[in-house]
Structure 1
Amino acid sequence: MITSSLHNRIAGSLLLAGMGDALGAPTEQWSMAEILAAHGGLVTGFVTPTADTFAGANAGKRAEVTDDASQMYYLARALVRGGGRLDAAGWVACLLDWADTSPKAGFMGPSTVGIVAALRAGTDPALVGVIGQSRRKMTTIGTTNGAAMRVAPAGLVHPGDLDAACAQALVTCLPSHDTDVAIAAACAIAAGTARALVTDDIADVIIACIEGGRQGATLAARHARVGPGPRFQARLDLALEIAARATDDLTFLEALDAQVGASVLAAESVPAAIAILAHAKGDPLRTIALSATIGNDTDSIATMAGALAGALCGASALPAGLTAEFRAVNAVDYDLDALAAELAAIAQRRLAA
């Protein structure tokens, strides 16, 4: 039972993130043209993933979450066990628990898979992806969106507190996503989620995402590595400019995909998710429908955008039919009602302190 506005918003974030993940799973790696042809427009309903998607190849079911939201839920559980705080050792234990027990761990992202293997073997995760005998790493290692797609609970336990949300997000970025672009992206989602719990204005959420990205870049300069490649903030600025001048959904998605991108890279998919949230004005169904239709890494984009929109609008504003179907499919593995209540208790104590 939803007992407060804060509880409602946290439940909304958990639910809509998972619903977005499940909505985007059957279109992952497809092009937007293929998606529009198959669905006759935006993706607005759950379908069974086909064999040419990661979810379908992993026996994914209609309306079922993938590795994206499942990592988010494991992080939320770990934060509850820690009373709202998770240190480096606690995060590593959480990541390995997910890798060992989640049925969705078979399709880890490219940054996470090598780190998990190193942690299991007891070798130095800092050596994953190094080039030769140097400490330089391949640019694809640690620059993907795995940290951002799971990070929303770092904001859910810190309502309105962007600094604390970003500090907790940093912990969950290391050691798998130890780059400025991944940390900035994760902090943008964590900060936006934290702000969404305490405002009714979508503009406030977007501003918080921008500030979180800036804080993340600063934290990364002190605690991680700055590699070559596009900067998160520059891509986010461009994505939001595209959203601001968009006149219709399809033209917006086409421009966003062409100019920013929607791949697994944090510099593409995370700005895309935030821009979709802005274009949809936080509307829950439009947010995840647009995310599932843009193509490429649709499930991750819809997970992140869904977490933000759900925190802004709350569980009571979610589409009833989709929500009921999602709950029925995922209830065996994830008690989201209990998890939302436990997170809300932590968040409420912090607001009252």
Structure 2
Amino acid sequence: MSSWIEDRALAVVTGSAVGDALGGATEGFTPEAIEERYGGRVEGIVPPFFADWQTHRPISPYHKGDGHITDDTLMTQALIEVYAERREHLDAFAMADGLVPRLIGDVRWIPELERETVLLNRIFLAEKWMVTRLQYGHIDPREAGVGNVVNCGAAMYLAPVGVVNAGDATGAYREAIDLAGAHQSSYGREAAGAFAAAVAAALAPGADPLGVADAVLSVSHDGTRAAVAAVVEAATTVGDASDREIGARLRDAIRPFDTVGERYREPAADARIPSRTKSIEEFPVALGMVIAHGGDYRRAVLGAVNYGRDSDSIASMAGAIIGAMHGSHVVPAEWVEEIGAASRVDFGVHAGLLAQAASDILERDRVRALAAVDRIGALADPERLAS
């Protein structure tokens, strides 16, 4: 296993987890409310938005903030474990018989619940739908995502798909679309493919933010593609705008495609239903943050944190893309250490699992590619085929 893949796996794991933990405290709020609560823009680890977090929102009594990773990272870790077990590309069936059993059977520390339990007790409604459909409804995994609320639930944890398809945005897109069919449909599924493609493209030698965007645009479709194009255009024209203004411009760009609406906690009547013209907000904005801030990890992630709304997922995606592009040295070590301690997690464990799985898969892909060249060559040469 090369030191390169070990470092980039660590960069993706820590880059996404740090963004997730920092953004957890500000999730669901407006930039103005965030600044009022914290006395200015958030610049690192902060306490929960509400001191009475246990009861303030009974439907989600989670201890967000204080350096706690959320379900984005916990689901990412669970998917890494499936890759580590199988050491091969995954499909929708692997979600049913590989991921779901971990969600309902493996006891682990859940920082936001401050106790050990199964991940099912932390994941939210769209993920519980997946468990219900696959474990108890026995739905064909390729179709299980149909009928679920359309959101970023599948996209938020598919960064590992990009790592095992390093440099191959098309391969990552296709694998993620297959996997995500067990969880999401419509533009929620499309976003999962686009995000995985972005991580894979960011791992290509010499990758830069605009090159990653080009790779995403080359594989994505419908409202997701249109939303990415609009946000990328906005991100490339920010000039010397302040970080606050950058967030506002990206919000303006995504607004026509976003079904949730302006009141994040009070979604519009047509929110989260299938559409060919709409997009989730999280991935395009995350990519926009990467571009607008020139691939600078700290600025892009903090830009996502202070953007509010689904800030943990936006910051996590931005962090994964930048980590993949530049390596683990760009993820601030002090944040990694503090969040690891607060969440009681050693990020190196899952990074190592992902690196080993990716190394094995990439080697198998190399062998398969060479065999394909020979097969295609034989088919193209009648005399060779006859012999």
Smaller-chain TM-score bracket: 0.7 to 0.9
C-alpha displacement of 1:96: 1.6
In structure 1, what is the Cα distance between the partners aligned to 2:145 and 2:180?
16
C-alpha displacement of 1:142: 4.5
Aligned to 2:198: 192
2:121 equivalent to 1:151: no
Are the aligned partners of 2:34 and 2:308 in contact in 1 as well (CA < 8 Å)? yes
Are the aligned partners of 1:291 and 1:301 in contact in 2 as well (CA < 8 Å)? yes
In structure 1, what is the Cα distance between the partners aligned to 2:317 and 2:80?
14
Are the aligned partners of 1:91 and 1:171 in contact in 2 as well (CA < 8 Å)? no
Pick aligned residue for 1:167 from 170, 174, 181: 174
C-alpha displacement of 1:71: 0.8
2:326 maps to amino acid: C
Aligned to 1:210: 217
- Aligned in 2, Cα 1:245/1:123: closer, same or farther, shift over 3 Å? same
1:194 maps to amino acid: A
- Aligned in 2, Cα 1:187/1:349: closer, same or farther, shift over 3 Å? same
| CA deviation string 1:26-74 (max 9, x = no partner) | 1111111011223344322112323157998224562121111111111
2:310 equivalent to 1:318: no
1:38 maps to amino acid: R
Aligned to 2:184: 177
C-alpha displacement of 1:93: 2.6
Pick aligned residue for 1:267 from 280, 285, 291: 280
C-alpha displacement of 1:329: 3.1
2:319 equivalent to 1:306: yes
| CA deviation string 1:61-99 (max 9, x = no partner) | 621211111111111221121113213221113332343
The alignment partner of 2:280 has SS state of helix
Pick aligned residue for 1:234 from 208, 211, 226: 226
| CA deviation string 1:312-347 (max 9, x = no partner) | 111122212112212323454752342243245236
C-alpha displacement of 1:165: 0.9
Structure 1 length normalisation: TM-score?
Answer: 0.82
C-alpha displacement of 1:145: 0.6
Are the aligned partners of 2:145 and 2:181 in contact in 1 as well (CA < 8 Å)? no
Q: Return 5+ residue gaps in structure 2 as ranges.
A: 111-118, 265-271, 273-278, 368-387
Matches within 5 A, 1:333-352: 335-346=349-360, 349=363
Matches within 5 A, 1:116-131: 116-124=131-139
Are the aligned partners of 1:27 and 1:293 in contact in 2 as well (CA < 8 Å)? yes
| CA deviation string 1:120-143 (max 9, x = no partner) | 32354799898xxxxxx5xxx342
Matches within 5 A, 1:51-130: 51=53, 52=56, 57-60=61-64, 62-100=66-104, 101=106, 103=110, 104-124=119-139
Larger Rg: 2
In structure 2, what is the Cα distance between the partners aligned to 1:53 and 1:26?
13
2:38 maps to amino acid: H
2:93 maps to amino acid: A
In structure 2, what is the Cα distance between the partners aligned to 1:162 and 1:285?
25
Aligned to 1:28: 27
Aligned to 1:5: 4
Are the aligned partners of 1:188 and 1:211 in contact in 2 as well (CA < 8 Å)? no
Is the deviation greater in 75-84 or in 20-29?
75-84
The alignment partner of 1:159 has SS state of coil
Pick aligned residue for 1:243 from 235, 240, 247: 235
Aligned to 2:293: 280
In structure 2, what is the Cα distance between the partners aligned to 1:89 and 1:187?
17
The alignment partner of 1:72 has SS state of helix
Matches within 5 A, 1:41-60: 41-49=40-48, 50=50, 51=53, 52=56, 57-60=61-64
Are the aligned partners of 1:155 and 1:191 in contact in 2 as well (CA < 8 Å)? yes
2:252 equivalent to 1:252: no
2:339 maps to amino acid: F
- Aligned in 2, Cα 1:129/1:336: closer, same or farther, shift over 3 Å? closer
Are the aligned partners of 1:284 and 1:313 in contact in 2 as well (CA < 8 Å)? no
Q: Return 5+ residue gaps in structure 1 as ranges.
A: 131-136, 218-230
Identity %: 26
Is the deviation greater in 294-303 or in 107-116?
107-116
Are the aligned partners of 2:191 and 2:280 in contact in 1 as well (CA < 8 Å)? yes
In structure 2, what is the Cα distance between the partners aligned to 1:128 and 1:159?
27
1:143 maps to amino acid: V
In structure 1, what is the Cα distance between the partners aligned to 2:97 and 2:20?
24
In structure 2, what is the Cα distance between the partners aligned to 1:300 and 1:54?
21
Is the deviation greater in 50-59 or in 93-102?
50-59
Structure 2 length normalisation: TM-score?
Answer: 0.76
- Aligned in 2, Cα 1:83/1:125: closer, same or farther, shift over 3 Å? closer
Is the deviation greater in 341-350 or in 299-308?
341-350
What is the alpha-carbon root mean square deviation over aligned residues?
Answer: 2.9
